[in-house]
Structure 1
Amino acid sequence: MAGQDPPAELDSVLLQLLQDLEQLEAKRTALNARVEEGWLSLSKARYAMGAKSVGPLQYASRMEPRVCVRTSDAQDGLPQFRVVKACAQPPEEVGPCEAALRRRKGLAKTPEPEPLAAPPDPLNWFGILVPHSLRQAQASFSEGLQLAADIASLQTRINWGRSQVRALQERHRLSEPGAA
């Protein structure tokens, strides 16, 4: 694009920006639909199981993330967000590595790290046979999370495109004869 004349380059950047804006609008509409569908399914599950059977009291005391959001650089150098399965590493423990007091008799055995299994399905917090609507709610919110990552990537591209348009407009304005 750097070899094109400024008006043609501006046109191509504007066209890409408009396409990105159109995609952003479509993804936001899809995200709103997924979230609304998820809340509807969740309310159906509360109705089927009872209001007190689906709520914060059933959450596990220690929750593990099932997915993580990662960033990577695309071909154009802009960050791209993607949703991946949860990391196999537990959160780092903060504090001293050794105890302040040590016993001098014998060697202290260091516990071997336990192999990390995949985090359990959160639907099991609500029982073994959960209603289908609860599974639908989980699927809707998972799809919504993927859409949110796509929207964040698009928003980054749009912000970059807007800055490119401003820079090209300024360059075009300065290159016009009689501009002072």
Structure 2
Amino acid sequence: MAAPDLRAKLDSQLLQLLEDLEELETKRTALNARVEEGWLSLAKARYAMGAKSVGPLQYASHMEPQVCVSASEAQDGPQTFRVVRSDALTPEEVGPGEAALRRRKGPTKTLEPEPSAALPDPLNWFGILVPHSLRQAQASFREGLQLAADIASLQTRIDWGQNQLRELQERLRQLEPGAA
């Protein structure tokens, strides 16, 4: 690769890195605002329902996650994170319904997927009619979780971009020993 092409690629990589850093700062600010809003709404709910009505004693004894964080990596790029609903099929559930195949006499039955029970809303732990502020807190924390996954993806993209930038600078130094 010629030096002018390498310099152009270096410039575009640097611009992309600066844009990513600016986006990271914006998302971090938004995450802080969401978390602060969530805690404020939670405090309002505790005030409206009573301090003992919203607390660890109302949590279910066995909790199921409603969302999971999934990581995927491209072959030539950075790792990305995304929030997925946990009621989606997992790879273990996609496999065969039985451990071994058996020959049966008579008509063959097709296995029907079992209807997955929807996960209950955790707000129901605190009663049927919960204050609006508790619903706002739940929504704020959900948005915060999505922002956290976006921030993690962005941070890995920035780290990957910095490594690419260093590699391009090193190649430019090898091509032009006095420059760079």
**Whole-Å separation in 2 of the counterparts to 1:2 and 1:72:** 34
Deviations 1:88-124 (A, max 9, x none): 569x9xxxxxxxxxxxxxxxxxxxxx75311100000
Q: CA 1:17–1:55 in 2, change beyond 3 Å: closer, same or farther?
A: same
- Which runs of structure 2 are paired with 1:1-180 in the superposition (5 Å)? 5-73=5-73, 77-88=77-88, 115-177=115-177
The CA deviation at 1:83 is 0.8
- TM norm structure 1: 0.79
**Whole-Å separation in 1 of the counterparts to 2:60 and 2:89:** 19
Work out the percentage of aligned pairs sharing the same amino acid.
78
Say which SS state the counterpart of residue 5 (structure 1) adopts. helix
Counterpart amino acid of residue 41 in structure 1? S
**Whole-Å separation in 2 of the counterparts to 1:75 and 1:2:** 26
Measured on the aligned residues, the alpha-carbon RMSD in Å equals 2.5
- TM norm structure 2: 0.79
Partners of 1:69 and 1:82 within 8 A in 2: yes
The CA deviation at 1:70 is 1.2
Question: When the two structures are aligned, how many residues end up with a matched partner?
Answer: 158
Partners of 2:87 and 2:119 within 8 A in 1: no
**Whole-Å separation in 1 of the counterparts to 2:122 and 2:158:** 36
Partners of 2:72 and 2:79 within 8 A in 1: yes
**Whole-Å separation in 2 of the counterparts to 1:79 and 1:163:** 14
Counterpart amino acid of residue 81 in structure 1? F
**Whole-Å separation in 2 of the counterparts to 1:156 and 1:39:** 28
Partners of 2:3 and 2:172 within 8 A in 1: no
Partners of 2:10 and 2:168 within 8 A in 1: yes
**Whole-Å separation in 2 of the counterparts to 1:141 and 1:22:** 23
**Whole-Å separation in 2 of the counterparts to 1:173 and 1:15:** 20
Deviations 1:135-179 (A, max 9, x none): 000000000000001001101100000001111111111211558
Q: After TM superposition, what 4+ stretches of structure 1 lie above 6 angstroms from structure 2? A: 1-4
**Whole-Å separation in 2 of the counterparts to 1:87 and 1:4:** 52
Say which SS state the counterpart of residue 81 (structure 1) adopts. strand
Q: CA 1:43–1:2 in 2, change beyond 3 Å: closer, same or farther?
A: farther
**Whole-Å separation in 1 of the counterparts to 2:36 and 2:174:** 49
The CA deviation at 1:49 is 0.5
